[in-house]
């Protein structure tokens, strides 16, 4: 189990690093949106490239942070029924859901999105909008995002099994305060 837990820690570190870096794209997205709105309304200028850049940034945040969100147990859950079960049963539900739903879905999307990216890359696909951007960077976000989610699914599966076997303590919990607020306070939630 220890070699698997080492792999899990490496995956966690990868998604933590990527997630913390990609969070800053939210600020970039807001700035791009504000500049675009001001140019459109104050100067009567508009550009499809700026609009598409906003979409690309949003896609980047959503897709590249999916593994990070899963790592921090901030993903959407339906706990109405599961919350009534014992913690051990909840862990088994997580294992079942990861093996039979999350991983197959993520791997299928990863598998199917890769040729779409390759086609966009080879053909240098451009947006059909006048002044639009090239499409391959946005197409690449899908397989990369689902690859990171697949890795995190494997990591979470390893941790759930280790908890069930009593190898590690159960430290998986829902965070009470938003992660972004913790980052602004210095990363550990304590004001500096």
pLDDT tens track for 138-164? 999 999 999 999 999 999 999 999 999
Q: Whole-number mean pLDDT of the chain?
A: 86
pLDDT at 174 over 70: no
Q: pTM for the complete prediction? A: 0.81
Q: Over range 15-24, report the average pLDDT.
A: 94
Look at residue 37 in the predicted model and tell me its pLDDT: 85
Q: How far is CA 161 from CA 5, 15, 107, 164, 167, in A?
A: 10, 20, 21, 5, 9
List own/partner pairs for 159-162 with CB under 8 A and 24 or more apart. 159/5, 159/8, 160/91, 160/94, 160/95, 160/98, 161/1, 161/95, 162/1, 162/4, 162/5, 162/8
For tokens 């899908």, the residue is: 142
Q: How far is CA 118 from CA 122, 132, 143, 167, in A?
A: 6, 19, 11, 42
């Amino acid at each position: 189990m220890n070699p698997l837990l080492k792999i899990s820690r490496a995956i966690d570190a990868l998604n933590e690093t990527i997630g913390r870096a990609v969070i800053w794209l939210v600020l970039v997205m807001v700035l791009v949106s504000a500049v675009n709105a001001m140019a459109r309304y104050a100067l009567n200028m508009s550009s499809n490239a700026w609009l598409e850049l906003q979409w690309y940034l949003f896609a980047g945040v959503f897709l590249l942070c999916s593994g990070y969100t899963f790592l921090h147990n901030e993903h959407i859950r339906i706990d109405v029924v599961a919350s009534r079960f014992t913690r051990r049963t909840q862990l088994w539900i997580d294992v079942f859901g990861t093996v039979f739903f999350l991983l197959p879905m993520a791997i299928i999307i990863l598998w199917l999105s890769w040729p779409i990216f390759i086609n966009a890359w080879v053909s240098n696909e451009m947006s059909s909008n006048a002044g639009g951007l090239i499409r391959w960077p946005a197409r690449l976000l899908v397989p990369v995002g689902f690859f990171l989610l697949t890795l995190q699914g494997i990591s979470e599966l390893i941790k759930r099994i280790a908890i069930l076997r009593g190898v590690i303590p159960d430290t998986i919990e829902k965070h009470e305060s938003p992660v972004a607020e913790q980052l602004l306070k210095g990363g550990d939630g304590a004001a500096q």
